[in-house]
Amino acid sequence: MTAPEPAAPESFVRGARVEVVGLSAAYGRTRVLDSVRFTVEPGGWLAVIGPNGSGKSTLLRSVLGLQSHEGHVRIDGVPTTGMPRRDRARLLAYAPQLPVLPEGISTLEYVTLGRTPHRPLLAAPRRHDREVVADVLQRLDLEPLADRLLVTLSGGEQQRAVLARALAQRPRVLFLDEPTAALDLGHAQQVLDLLDRLRRQDGLTVVSTLHDLTLAGQYADRLTLLARGRVVAEGTPADVLTPAALAEHYGARAQVVTGPDGLAVLPVR
Ligand SMILES: Nc1ncnc2c1ncn2[C@@H]1O[C@H](COP(=O)(O)OP(=O)(O)OP(=O)(O)O)[C@@H](O)[C@H]1O
């Protein structure tokens, strides 16, 4: 007997609360995360910022259970330890910084892989799956590239495809590692605007790393600043993005100015 088709795909299910407590991780004997703690409310957007090598990617991978670590991660109060992979994949999606992209499949086929946790093993995509994928391709300007081999896309196009696959998963929490790194300014804003809409309209919870501090300050509602694996500042963008903190933790000379859409960080020569 086939499972009934779910309702139409427009909206995401409500976002979940993410709690991370006492998270530590090491590579061999080198500790790279030390007792990191943060909480993101449903529909919140936390940007994890910090200089190169401060542990941002390791933090995301640890929270997702892709990296051995100590500490606790709870999603809506439920510990992720011991959670079946499939349940975890329905709750949490991840767009990595440097994904391994499969050869020989089209953009459409790749984005459709995001539906895997929602359908029976080896079952063909159902109408609902195809609708979700079509919606995401359209929102990310990927329709014209749907039939192209994924590996022939440009770096920025591939980055949008990776994000599309994560969104097609219809997660309750979306983890993004440097989602705008390969994107031109217009596409970066398009992607960030889309995420902003999804969290405001549908309550999707977003946790991202972002090197662009101006974009972090304009889009995230909370920032966590990591330095050498420790949380050294957290709060609103105005709390965290101060010239003193940028000098101390990034070794950067910068002004922080307030514009109509939030803060902008301006390098000073
Ligand atoms: N597989 C690994 N083996 C050993 N050390 C690693 C490994 N992966 C990362 N590291 C080290 O752990 C530290 C944290 O790395 P991580 O990639 O989490 O930092 P990041 O803040 O994401 O950096 P970036 O901003 O440059 O992307 C760095 O010193 C890095 O060299």
Q: Is 56 in the pocket of ligand 1 (CB under 6 A)?
A: yes
Pairing verdict, β 45-49 and 30-40: unpaired
CA distance 217 to 61: 23
How far away, in angstroms, is 137 Cα from ligand 1 center?
32
Output the pLDDT for position 36.
Answer: 98
pLDDT, greater one: 39 or 126: 39
- In 3D space, the residue among 244, 173, 179 whose CA is nearest the CA of residue 215 turns out to be 179
Distance from Cα 196 to the centre of ligand 1, integer Å:
28
- Please determine, for residue 1, whether its predicted confidence score (pLDDT) is greater than 90: no
Domain layout of the chain by residue ranges: 18-103+171-267
DSSP notation for the chain: -PPPPPPP-SSPPPP--EEEEEEEEEETTEEEEEEEEEEE-TT-EEEEE-STTSSHHHHHHHHTTSS--EEEEEETTEE-TT--HHHHHHHEEEE-SSPPPPTT-BHHHHHHGGGGGGS-TTPPP-HHHHHHHHHHHHHTT-GGGTTSBGGGS-HHHHHHHHHHHHHHT--SEEEEESTTTT--HHHHHHHHHHHHHHHHHH--EEEEE-S-HHHHHHH-SEEEEEETTEEEEEESHHHH--HHHHHHHH---EEEEEETTEEEEEE--
pLDDT tens-digit map of 160-197: 999 999 999 999 999 999 999 888 999 899 889 989 98
Place of tokens 């309750």: 172
Q: Does residue 6 surpass a pLDDT of 60?
A: no
**Contact 50 CB / ligand 1 (< 6 Å):** yes
Who's near 237: CB < 8 A, 6+ residues apart? 216, 217, 218, 220, 223, 262, 263
Q: Between β-strands 92-95 and 78-79, what pairing exists: parallel, antiparallel or unpaired?
A: unpaired
Residue 13 banded pLDDT, cuts 50, 70, 90 = low
Q: Which DSSP string corresponds to 129-176? A: HHHHHHHHHHHTT-GGGTTSBGGGS-HHHHHHHHHHHHHHT--SEEEE
**Domain 18-103+171-267 part of CATH 3.30.365.10:** no
Residue nearest to atom 25 of ligand 1 (CA): 52
The answer to whether residue 120 scores a pLDDT higher than 80 is: no
User: Which residue minimizes the CA distance to atom 13 of ligand 1?
Assistant: 53
Q: Is 54's C-beta closer than 6 angstroms to any atom of ligand 1?
A: yes
Give the mean pLDDT of 122-147. Answer: 91
Residue 5 tokens, joined:
């088709």
Per the prediction, the chain carries an average pLDDT of: 90
Q: pTM of the entire structure?
A: 0.91
Looking at ligand 1, which residue's alpha carbon is closest to its atom 9? 58
Q: Is 49 in the pocket of ligand 1 (CB under 6 A)?
A: no
Mutate to test the pocket of ligand 1, among 30, 33, 56 (most ligand atoms within 8 A of CB): 56
